[in-house]
A and B are shown apart, each in its own frame.
Chain A
Amino acid sequence: MNWTSFDTWIVVVGALCAVACALPGCFLVLRKMSMMGDAISHAVLPGLAIAFLITGTRASVPMFFGAAIAGVLTALFTQWIARFGNVDRGAAMGIVFTTLFAIGLIMIRQAADHVDLDPGCVLYGALEMTPLDTVGQTGIPRAAIVNGGALLANLLIILVLFKEFRLGAFDGALADTLGFSSQFLHYLLMTMVAVTTVAAFESVGSIIVIAMLIVPPATALLLTRKLPAMLIIASITAAASALIGHVGALIVPGWFGMDATTTSGMIALAAGILFTLAWLFSPTEGIVVKKLRSRELADPVFEESLAGK
């Protein structure tokens, strides 16, 4: 393996993006809306297409706004269908994002003659290429700044509104009666998810986004029952996944005699492995610990029944 500053930047960008996703992801998981990340990441396609058709360029800023608006609309439509139609929220989400994605696909196909917008590119991203696109003379990749900005914004919002978010995540009705609109918190969270998703998209692809919104928070949830600890553990897990994922992308294919593979996919896999470790060995919820505990409990019960008590 040949580690260069290139690799360091890939890990840094991946980690920034992963942590930026993991923070709002904790609240998504607690609010039982884990699939929202997947929905939003598909549903931004028409936003990207419209922004492109209007401005005619692939400039980042209009694309960013188009996608963010589409993301928030997904949350809004899902909420409306679920509430007014009395439909299960998962189903509402599925209908909204498939429809938006289909609209986006048709728009792109109709404009295909003069559009260079590949849906595959949106889905996979190219984390490996990010260090090439630097800002000015600094040598810092643009993706690091974009994702770092998203991370900073999410961190600030969560720190400032920490107790409101906590209340909203665990008891929306109580939040409402105490005067914090849980609706407002919901849409703020959705906006955060949409903006983070879009920020991450262009540079690293949607797989990392979907995985990092769900898997590190789920891992943290297996290790703690406290919200601050959950946020911290999720962030650490996310950053660690980025590092392990990139190292894995360089090493693992060699075992099969193949070239390096995509880092995004391997980051998702690394997060999955960390989750599995927590699932097995978590000191409070792990399968192994539970087995041991039930055996410890079973022995005295067995002895007592032998002794005829």
Chain B
Amino acid sequence: MPELAEIIEVVLLQNYNTRLVVLSTTLLGVAAGLIGSFLLLRKRSLMGDALSHATLPGVAIAFAIMVTLGGTGKSLPGLLLGATISGVAGLFTMLLIRNTTRLRDDVAMGFVLSVFFGIGVASLQMVQSLPGASAAGLESFIYGKTASMVQSDFLLIAVVAGIASLVSILFLKEFLLLCFDDAYAAAQGWPTFFLDVLLLGLVTAVTVIGLQAVGLILIIAFLITPATAARFWTQRLLPMMLLSAAIGGVSGWLGASISALTPNLPAGAVIVLVAASLFLLSMLFAPPRGVIPRLFRQYRLRRKVDRQHFLRAAYEILEEEQGQGDVSNTPFPRPALQSKRSWSVRELRSILKIAKREDHLEPAGPGMLRLSESGFGEAARVTRNHRLWETYLIYYADIAPSHVDRDADLVEHILGPELVHELEEFLEKESVTTPVPPSPHPVS
């Protein structure tokens, strides 16, 4: 295990060797997080995957050209230029397939990915045999060479990541429109094709600089995972983008630091795993859209619905015994409740248990049930809401009395006090003023 002092040194960027790597991956994470948000909302997350594969032929061909012109062929700007050109060619092929055939995005992406990558592999192999050239090391374009990053690499990443982030903030409004309603954007006169190209151009730029720094798989993960994780926390674009950038940055920073502290852990892979863990946490626990909070909310709603059904059923039983109008709280037999709704024996038992815990039930004789004071009041209120809503539906939504029970059931459980008050005002004219109005349809 590394010592604490060592950990602090790396995490706080005091160590020169790791500083470049950690800063580069952090910046890359931020830029990719921002752009990835648009890709996710445009349902094109795998675009980074396709484009990163599409850069390979450019690398090989640029290498071949530079060797032919004399030289080692390993000039980074030249290779990056080649990668960018073939990435853009892949991008246009993709858009062309999508716009001129009935094949979908996924096919277009898969086509570009596999065919371009095939061309890349074939031409790399051909280039290997060029006289006087050693193409060894070109494959770091696929797997990355994070550990051996130098200052010029860092500067390149910083500049491109900065420009990409700036452009995505400047075009925020346009991209927002493009992501959520491209048909409307086109109808409003926005150049949607140009915007698409601009967005994917940004993806290509980030992919190309990321590729040689950290490798193919990491850059794909950077474009997808932070944005998807951020999506669980918010419904608004700007917070989502900022959060996504933060998650990307933190993954890059933590992942590169962990990798620097542990022998034999490739930085790219660790960063992917950090981002994936953040994604998993978000997916499970984010309050707005996470899985567990959502299940909890569903459970709460179901319990609320069950409780209201139980109370209304009890009230209606009392009403049947005593006639509609003036109902008083008396014990009633448990089987009557069972026959009221299609509850299974087990469901009814758990509903009654909850009702006892909430003080809605009082002890009564064997086989008998009796509502408590508060339970009876609540039952009258719930029944009244149900009937107000039913009456409203019958008068104003023209729903047949024989069907209204089911329809009312869909909404009544979420009626708030204001809505109930409005209903009361509405129905004043219909002379519904009794504490609990009679049911507008026969209660069985």
A87, B114: Cβ atoms closer than 8 Å: no
Q: A272 touches which one: B102, B107, B118, B289 (CB < 8 A)?
A: B118
Q: A261 touches which one: B123, B217, B291 (CB < 8 A)?
A: B123
B217, A268: Cβ atoms closer than 8 Å: no
Interface presence of A73 (CB below 8 A): no
B81 to chain A, nearest CB (A): 21
Residues of A within 8 A of B121 (CB): 124, 207, 262, 264-265, 268
Among A63-71, A155-163, A166-174, A211-219, the stretch in contact with B: A211-219
Q: Chain A: which residue is nearest B272 at the CB level?
A: A102
Interface presence of A275 (CB below 8 A): yes
Interface presence of B84 (CB below 8 A): no
Interface presence of B269 (CB below 8 A): yes
- Scoring B residues 186 to 229 as 1 if CB is less than 8 Å from chain A, else 0, what string do you get? 00000000000000000000000000000001101101110110
B210 to chain A, nearest CB (A): 13
Interface CB pairs A-B, < 8 A, 17: A29-B106, A81-B283, A90-B43, A91-B45, A95-B279, A99-B221, A106-B265, A213-B110, A215-B110, A215-B114, A258-B127, A259-B126, A265-B123, A268-B114, A271-B114, A271-B118, A272-B118
A102-147 with Cβ < 8 A to chain B = 102-103, 105-106, 109-110, 112, 119-120, 124
Interface presence of A244 (CB below 8 A): no
A214, B123: Cβ atoms closer than 8 Å: no
B101-136 with Cβ < 8 A to chain A = 101-104, 106-107, 109-111, 113-115, 117-123, 125-127, 129-130
B289, A86: Cβ atoms closer than 8 Å: yes
6 closest cross-chain pairs (CB), A and B: A268-B118, A265-B122, A272-B115, A211-B114, A102-B272, A265-B121
- Tally of contact residues, B, Cβ under 8 A: 59
Taken together as a complex, chains A and B put the C-alpha atoms of A85 and B121 apart, in Å, by 37
Binding site for B on A (CB under 8 A): 29, 32-35, 37-38, 42, 81, 84-88, 90-95, 98-99, 101-103, 105-106, 109-110, 112, 119-120, 124, 207, 210-211, 213-215, 218, 221-222, 249, 253, 256, 258-259, 261-262, 264-269, 271-272, 275, 279, 285, 287
Task: Tell which of A86, A94, A106, A218 has the most Cβ of chain B within 10 Å.
Answer: A94
Taken together as a complex, chains A and B put the C-alpha atoms of A207 and B118 apart, in Å, by 6
Secondary structure dominating the interface of B: helix
Interface presence of B151 (CB below 8 A): no
Secondary structure dominating the interface of A: helix
B274-293 with Cβ < 8 A to chain A = 276, 279, 283, 289, 291
Given A90-B46, A102-B217, the answer on whether A269 and B279 have CB atoms closer than 8 Å is no
A34, B106: Cβ atoms closer than 8 Å: yes
Interface presence of B375 (CB below 8 A): no
Taken together as a complex, chains A and B put the C-alpha atoms of A94 and B283 apart, in Å, by 15
B295 to chain A, nearest CB (A): 9
Binding site for A on B (CB under 8 A): 40, 43-46, 48-49, 97, 100-104, 106-107, 109-111, 113-115, 117-123, 125-127, 129-130, 139, 143, 217-218, 220-221, 223-225, 227-228, 231-232, 264-266, 268-270, 272-273, 276, 279, 283, 289, 291
A274 to chain B, nearest CB (A): 10
Taken together as a complex, chains A and B put the C-alpha atoms of A105 and B223 apart, in Å, by 19
A262, B125: Cβ atoms closer than 8 Å: yes
A284 to chain B, nearest CB (A): 10
Residues of A within 8 A of B270 (CB): 102, 106
Taken together as a complex, chains A and B put the C-alpha atoms of A97 and B220 apart, in Å, by 10
Given contacts A98-B225, A214-B110, 15 further A-B contacts (CB under 8 A): A29-B107, A33-B106, A34-B106, A85-B291, A91-B40, A98-B272, A101-B272, A109-B266, A207-B114, A207-B118, A218-B111, A253-B129, A256-B126, A259-B129, A265-B125
A271, B221: Cβ atoms closer than 8 Å: no
Taken together as a complex, chains A and B put the C-alpha atoms of A256 and B45 apart, in Å, by 38
